[in-house]
Amino acid sequence: MSLLSLLLNVLWILTGGLWMALAWLVAGVIMAITIVGLPWARAAFNIASYTLLPFGRVAVSREAVMGREDLGTGPLGTLGNLVWLLLAGWWLALGHILVALALAITLIGIPFAWAHLKLVPISLWPIGKVVLDRDEAERLRGGRRA
C-alpha cells in the first residue's frame, strides 16, 4: 500500500469508513447466525474489509478474475444478489449515501463522499465480487494473471 493510500485510508476511517465497515460486519454476522445466510455473510465480510480500507484496492467481478463464470457470478449469484438487495443491500446503500451527503458539505470531505458513493453499487449487489489491490487488478486488465 502506497503512502498516499495509507493516508487516505486513515482519513477515511475517521470520516465514516469505520462506521460503515461495522455496518457491513453486523450484516455479515446476522446472515451467519441464520446459517442459511452463510453465502451472504461471506460476501458481507469481504466487502466489510474493502469498506474499511478502500484506497489502493478495487472490487471486481470474480468472473473477470477467474476468466469463467462460477456459482456466485452466474444465475444463482443473481438470485443471491436479489435476496441480498431486499434483506440488507438497500439499507447499507442508504448508509453510504447519507454519509456521502454529510461529507459532501465540506471541501475536504468531497473525495471521501465520492468513495462512499462508489460503494453504493457494491452494497446493492455484492455477491460475486472479489477485492484486489489496485496493482493486481491492473495486471489482470493487462492480460497477465497474478
The CA distance from 27 to 124, in Å, is 13
Please indicate, yes or no, if residue 21 is contained in any of the structural domains: yes
Please tell me what DSSP assigns to residue 126. -
- 68 C-beta neighbours (distance < 10 Å), count: 9
| Total number of domains constituting the chain | 1
Cα separation of the two ends of the chain: 17
Q: Report the C-alpha gap between 138 and 136 in whole angstroms.
A: 5
The verdict on residue 38 lying in a domain is: yes
- pLDDT at residue 96 in the model: 94
Task: Check pLDDT > 60 for residue 144.
Answer: no
pLDDT at residue 118, as a whole number: 92
Please indicate, yes or no, if residue 10 is contained in any of the structural domains. yes
Q: Which pLDDT score, from 0 to 100, does residue 146 have?
A: 43
Residue 27 vs residues 31, 92, 129: alpha-carbon distances, Å: 6, 9, 17
In tens, the pLDDT along 4-50 reads: 999 999 999 988 899 999 999 999 999 999 988 888 898 899 999 99
From residue 91, give the alpha-carbon distance in Å to each of 28, 83, 87, 110, 135. 13, 13, 8, 22, 31
Q: What is the mean pLDDT of the chain?
A: 89
Name the nearest CA neighbour of 115 among 45, 57, 44: 57
145 located within any domain: no
Residue 139 domain-assigned (yes or no): no
Asked if 96 and 116 touch (Cβ cutoff 8 Å), the reply is yes
Assigned C-alpha cell, 54: 478502500
Domain assignment present for residue 95? The answer is yes
Host domain of residue 66: 3-134
pLDDT (tens digit per residue) in 74-117 = 888 889 899 999 988 999 999 999 999 999 999 889 989 999 99
Indicate whether 102 belongs to any domain.
Answer: yes
Q: Which three cell numbers stand for residue 139?
A: 495486471
Q: Is 146 inside any structural domain?
A: no
Distance CA 19, CA 43 (A): 18
- What the block records as the C-alpha cell of 126 is 455484492
For the chain, percent of residues with pLDDT exceeding 90: 56
